Structures are given as structure tokens and as C-alpha cells.
Amino acid sequence: MKKITLIFLSLIISGSIAYAQKKVEFDIAGYRFESKLKGPSHKNSKVIEIMVGNNGNYFVATYEGPKRLITLRIHNLYTWELVGEYQFKGRAELYNSYFDDIENVFYVNTDIYKNNYKKINLDTKKYEEIPCEQTPRGCQKLELEAYVTQMYTVGENYYITRDENRKNYIKVYKKKELFIDGMDYLEEDEGEDGESTLSFPDDEENLPASDSLPKK
């Protein structure tokens, strides 16, 4: 009976350790895991593209959905608070999209080759289709670019990347020297299904070369 009990306890402990290891979020060289942004809940959702606003106040991400549905989310940069979420069918080419000078309107390009735009008002949370003549930059020549799924913010203070294991998530890393000594040594984040994930600063992964990624 004791032998059976010991075997049972051993299996429980082994399973708990394996589960905990699976849920750990590791830091990367020079950076500490800070936050994780989960995408829409519909099936097969995944991050398409990310960008930082031209004035450095907002972070934007697009997600692929069923039947050509695009979800576009705008977050406050650094606090990661969700400012607005917008869904429409078609495309959203962030590399040809931009905010106005005061960053209360976002002009999102919705065609690879054409100057088609949606004007998103961050104050009213509404959007409308407008011709390129009504955008601040007018009808400019558009060039096809690869989608950005990992990038640094200005000064390389943050590294933001799509989670390649769970592509509906975006992971945010903060430069280690920006943390207060003795604070944030162990980061905790809400993971899938509301479970917590932990980040240990002594475990690091390799970081892409800074000159190989966009900076904003």
C-alpha cells in the first residue's frame, strides 16, 4: 500500500513540475519579460503585423480571423492598456498606415497596391472609408513590404515580438536596467485560460540583433 501511495505522489509531483516548466516565460539577454497581450478569442486567430505609432504613443497590432476578418487593436505604448478594437473584412497594411500629428486619428491602409484607407477616430471609436486625397499624406506611392512581427521601441528600451509558439499572443520584454533594483524580480502574467505564467531573470534566450529589426 505504501509503495502504491509513493508511486501516486511521485506522479503528481512530476506532473506538477512539468506543468510549471511549460508555463514559464523565460527572459532574453539584456531584457526581462514584462507582459503578454492575448489576441481575439475566435478560432485560429494569429498576429499578422505590429507597429509603433509615428509619435511613439501607441502600439498597434492586427490579427487574422475567419472569413477574411481582420481585428485591429490599438494600445497605449508602455502601459499596454487597450485603447480601441476594430474589426472589418479585407486587409490592414500597417507598414503603409500612420497616425495624424496629434495621434487621435489613425489612417489604416486597406489594400496592398491601392491608396484605400479607413480613418479611425480614437475619440469616438468609429471608423469610415475615405479617399487618399482626404488623408494627411495624400495619395502617395505604395510599396509592398514584409510584415513586421518583432521590433524594438526607441532606444531599444522594449523588445516586442509575436509568440512563435502561440501566435495569437504578443510578448513584451523590458530592458533590465529600467527595472528598479529589488523590484520585479519575478514577473507574473495572466496566461491562457486565466492561468499565471512566471518569468525568471536568470533564464535567458537569444535576442535578435538590434540592427536587424525596425525601431520606433
In a domain, 95, yes or no: yes
Predicted confidence (pLDDT) per residue in 54-108, tens digit: 889 999 999 999 999 999 999 999 999 999 999 999 999 999 999 999 899 999 9
Range of the domain at 40: 27-212
Q: Of the candidates 163, 135, 166, which has an alpha carbon nearest to the alpha carbon of residue 150?
A: 163
CA 167 to chain centre: 10
What pLDDT is stored for residue 209 in this prediction? Answer: 58
In a domain, 61, yes or no: yes
In a domain, 22, yes or no: no
Q: Of the candidates 148, 168, 162, 189, which has an alpha carbon nearest to the alpha carbon of residue 32?
A: 189
In a domain, 13, yes or no: no
Give the strand pairing for 169-175 and 105-109: unpaired
Predicted confidence (pLDDT) per residue in 2-39, tens digit: 554 444 445 444 444 333 333 446 678 899 999 999 99
In a domain, 3, yes or no: no
In a domain, 163, yes or no: yes
Mean pLDDT, the chain, whole residue set: 81
Say how many domains are in the chain: 1
Map residue 157 onto helix, strand or coil: coil
In a domain, 123, yes or no: yes
In a domain, 18, yes or no: no
CA 43 to chain centre: 18
